[in-house]
């Protein structure tokens, strides 16, 4: 296989609770990357899944009156269904209770023992079940974890990982790999944390049972983060490091995580891997957190946003668009209803939707329902087309940095250019004054819409497909290798009757309670 490989992962989600907007956000961001890279010719592997062990899950199962396995089976299925409903193109869904994962965890543990990085001791200190994290006395704020989680005092025999010995090697790794943590500001945070000194990490528990047994000492189960992080290598075949899968996809190209779990993914994970003789991931990107109408999202406040309800109300693609257009990826963002409505109406219905509809209706009415044959291009036509042709390179640069908002901004820049162009050229007037010129103008616009349709695919796959269907672009000709003038729309290709792609959002109280189809212009 010659295509370059690209391995992207979501965090695996705790099954203590039903999925919410935060989970949807992380998974969707990986889908954008996976789809973009596939269209760009990469051999992509996109992994997601569920984190099913640990005290938090064990407690939630008890509250639900189920044994932990039955409980995790149920909630894990909800996470899988959400990823499917979000139209996420994952290739593998891993569950940490699967045999392949237990095997990988135990093999990794064995490696850490062999390298001398694990020793037996005893832990006495604070633990926050909500965070599944250990905290030093000095880190507590008003008797709670710095995250606000309740802590409990734990005293038990425990194996430790010699994290303190990895400080210099971690710093050397970050130094040699400037892109290994994004965004920049987060990279700096991780580096200063490591420079401030690392303590050895407790990596086993004895006071409960729901976890992977430590090889040779089944009184201990592995610390849930050691277990969970290992999922990324389990899924590519670890411990079979000579397998074709492992060689092709490891080290991962991108671990996408929320800012709250960056430390686990860039300090602990890298140290575990290096100690086991496995290369660390190439890049870890931390995104920000959503608030709801200005408030922290929490179950106790009752303001958790259910992604399924959001999709039912606004449609899947508009939600996918909104989440990545509204807030610079990496920053925290606020979810506000009036903003999503504004975006849907301004950018989608009036923007790309209206542009597509106007152009295709004119072609349908005045060009016999087929791609017209253009005449010589004027300077304005060339300028507009040059903008469309240049988009891929510019968008690719942003996607490589996970700057999704900037990628969308670039694409919508061309939507704006095309809107201005159509108003200036006024093909509806040209129809009477210069029909040959009208044909050239409409041809150029159709070609621009083809570019927009192809580039929008990672963000709004279904809507992009509708646009490309209306241009009768064959399914096998929608990859990025088809962008540019060499593969322009062939004149004479018959086109189907145009239909609206992005309905306007009409609030229930002001209209008929439904999304109303956008009328033809
Ligand atoms: N199980 C661990 C991850 C282990 S990965 C080896 C975990 N799970 S989680 O279910 O709690 O969270 C998963 C993701 O959801 C995190 O990336 C987190 O940042 C994200 N979000 C949870 N709430 C969020 C918001 N309100 N906003 C955005 N993302 C948020 O952590």
Q: 268 CA to middle of ligand 1, Å?
A: 17
Task: Assess whether the C-beta atom of 263 lies below 6 angstroms from ligand 1.
Answer: no
**pLDDT in the model for residue 323:** 97
Query: Sorting pLDDT into bands at 50, 70 and 90, what band is 513?
Result: very low
Task: Assess whether the C-beta atom of 335 lies below 6 angstroms from ligand 1.
Answer: no
Task: Assess whether the C-beta atom of 330 lies below 6 angstroms from ligand 1.
Answer: no
Residue of 19, 76, 224, 258 to test ligand 1 pocket, by largest number of atoms within 8 Å of CB: 258
Q: 257 CA to middle of ligand 1, Å?
A: 7
Query: Sorting pLDDT into bands at 50, 70 and 90, what band is 1?
Result: low
Question: Is the Cβ–Cβ distance between 222 and 234 less than 8 Å?
Answer: no
Task: Assess whether the C-beta atom of 229 lies below 6 angstroms from ligand 1.
Answer: yes
Residue of 21, 260, 273, 298 to test ligand 1 pocket, by largest number of atoms within 8 Å of CB: 260
Ligand 1 atom nearest 259 alpha carbon = 19
Q: Residue 189: is it exposed, middle or buried by C-beta count within 10 angstroms (0-12/13-18/19+)?
A: middle
Percent of all residues in the chain with a pLDDT value above 70, rounded to a whole number: 97
Q: Within 13 A of 303's CA, how many CA atoms are on the CB side?
A: 13
Read off the tokens for 250. 């490891």
Cα four-point dihedral sign 75, 80, 82, 83: positive
Task: Assess whether the C-beta atom of 428 lies below 6 angstroms from ligand 1.
Answer: no
Instruction: Find the mean pLDDT for residues 47-59.
Output: 95
Percent of all residues in the chain with a pLDDT value above 90, rounded to a whole number: 93
pLDDT 10s digits, 396-445: 999 999 999 999 999 999 999 999 999 999 999 999 999 999 999 999 99
Q: 510 CA to middle of ligand 1, Å?
A: 37
Task: Assess whether the C-beta atom of 290 lies below 6 angstroms from ligand 1.
Answer: yes
Task: Assess whether the C-beta atom of 149 lies below 6 angstroms from ligand 1.
Answer: no
Cβ neighbors of 275 (< 8 A, separation 6 or more) are 111, 112, 115, 117, 161, 162, 166
Task: Assess whether the C-beta atom of 233 lies below 6 angstroms from ligand 1.
Answer: no
Does the predicted TM-score (pTM) go above 0.75? Answer: yes
pLDDT 10s digits, 216-228: 999 999 999 999 9
Q: 459 CA to middle of ligand 1, Å?
A: 21
Q: Residue 156: is it exposed, middle or buried by C-beta count within 10 angstroms (0-12/13-18/19+)?
A: middle
Whether pLDDT at 518 is above 50: no
CA–CA dist 102, 227 (Å, integer):
8
Collapse the DSSP code of 209 into the 3-class scheme (helix H, G, I; strand E, B; otherwise coil) and give the result. Answer: coil
Cα four-point dihedral sign 57, 62, 63, 69: positive
The DSSP element (H or E) to which 81 belongs, if any, is helix 68-85
Q: Can you name the residues that pair with 7 across neighbouring β-strands?
A: 45
Collapse the DSSP code of 233 into the 3-class scheme (helix H, G, I; strand E, B; otherwise coil) and give the result. Answer: helix
Instruction: Find the mean pLDDT for residues 43-66.
Output: 96
pLDDT 10s digits, 190-222: 999 999 999 999 999 999 999 999 999 999 999
515: DSSP letter: P
Query: Sorting pLDDT into bands at 50, 70 and 90, what band is 17?
Result: confident
Among 6, 3, 71, 75, residue whose Cα is nearest residue 37: 6
Residue of 8, 19, 26 to test ligand 1 pocket, by largest number of atoms within 8 Å of CB: 26
The DSSP element (H or E) to which 384 belongs, if any, is helix 379-400
Task: Assess whether the C-beta atom of 25 lies below 6 angstroms from ligand 1.
Answer: yes
**pLDDT in the model for residue 514:** 43
């Amino acid at each position: 296989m010659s295509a370059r490989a690209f391995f992207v992962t979501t965090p695996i989600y705790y099954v203590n609770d039903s999925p919410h907007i935060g989970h949807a956000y992380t998974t969707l961001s990986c889908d954008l990357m996976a789809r973009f890279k596939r269209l760009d010719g990469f051999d992509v592997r996109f992994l997601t899944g569920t984190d099913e062990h640990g005290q938090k899950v064990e407690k939630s199962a008890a509250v639900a009156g189920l044994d932990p396995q039955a409980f995790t089976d149920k909630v894990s299925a909800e996470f899988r269904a959400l990823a499917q409903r979000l139209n996420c193109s994952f290739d593998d869904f891993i569950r940490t209770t699967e045999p392949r994962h237990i095997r990988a965890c135990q093999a990794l543990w064995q490696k850490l023992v062999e390298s001398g990085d694990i020793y037996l001791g005893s832990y006495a200190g604070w633990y926050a079940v909500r965070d599944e994290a250990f905290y030093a006395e000095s880190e507590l704020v008003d008797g709670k974890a710095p995250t606000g989680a309740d802590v409990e005092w734990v005293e038990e025999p425990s194996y430790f990982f010699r994290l303190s010995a990895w400080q210099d090697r971690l710093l050397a790794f970050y130094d040699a790999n400037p892109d290994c943590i994004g965004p920049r500001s987060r990279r700096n945070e991780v580096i200063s944390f490591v420079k401030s000194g690392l303590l050895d990490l407790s990596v086993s528990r004895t006071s409960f049972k729901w976890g992977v047994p430590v090889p040779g000492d089944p009184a201990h189960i592995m610390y849930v983060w050691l277990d969970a992080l290992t999922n990324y290598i389990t899924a590519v075949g670890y411990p079979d490091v000579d397998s074709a899968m492992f060689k092709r996809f490891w080290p991962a190209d991108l671990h996408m995580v929320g800012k709250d779990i960056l430390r686990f993914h860039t300090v602990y994970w890298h140290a575990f891997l290096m100690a086991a003789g496995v290369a660390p991931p190439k890049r870890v990107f931390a995104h920000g957190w959503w608030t709801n109408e200005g408030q922290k999202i929490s179950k106790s406040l009752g303001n958790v946003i259910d992604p399924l309800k959001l999709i039912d109300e606004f449609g899947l693609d508009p939600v996918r668009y909104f989440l990545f257009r509204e807030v610079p990826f990496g920053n925290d963002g606020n979810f506000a209803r009036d903003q999503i409505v504004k975006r849907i109406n301004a950018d989608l219905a009036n923007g790309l939707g209206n542009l597509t509809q106007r152009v295709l209706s004119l072609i349908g009415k005045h060009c016999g329902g087929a791609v017209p044959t253009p005449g010589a291009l004027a300077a304005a036509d060339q300028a507009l087309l040059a903008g469309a042709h240049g988009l891929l390179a510019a968008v690719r640069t942003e996607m490589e940095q996970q700057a999704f908002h900037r990628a969308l901004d670039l694409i919508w820049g061309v939507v704006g250019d095309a809107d201005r162009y159509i108003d200036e050229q006024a093909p509806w007037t040209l129809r009477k004054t210069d029909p040959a010129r009208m044909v050239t103008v409409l041809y150029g616009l159709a070609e621009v819409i083809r570019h927009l349709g192809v580039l929008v695919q990672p963000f709004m796959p279904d809507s992009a497909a509708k646009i490309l269907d209306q241009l009768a672009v064959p399914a096998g000709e929608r990859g990025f290798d088809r962008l540019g003038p060499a593969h322009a729309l062939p004149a004479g290709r018959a086109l189907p009757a145009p239909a609206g792609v992005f309905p306007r959002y009409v609030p229930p109280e002001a209209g008929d309670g439904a999304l109303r189809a956008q009328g033809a212009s």
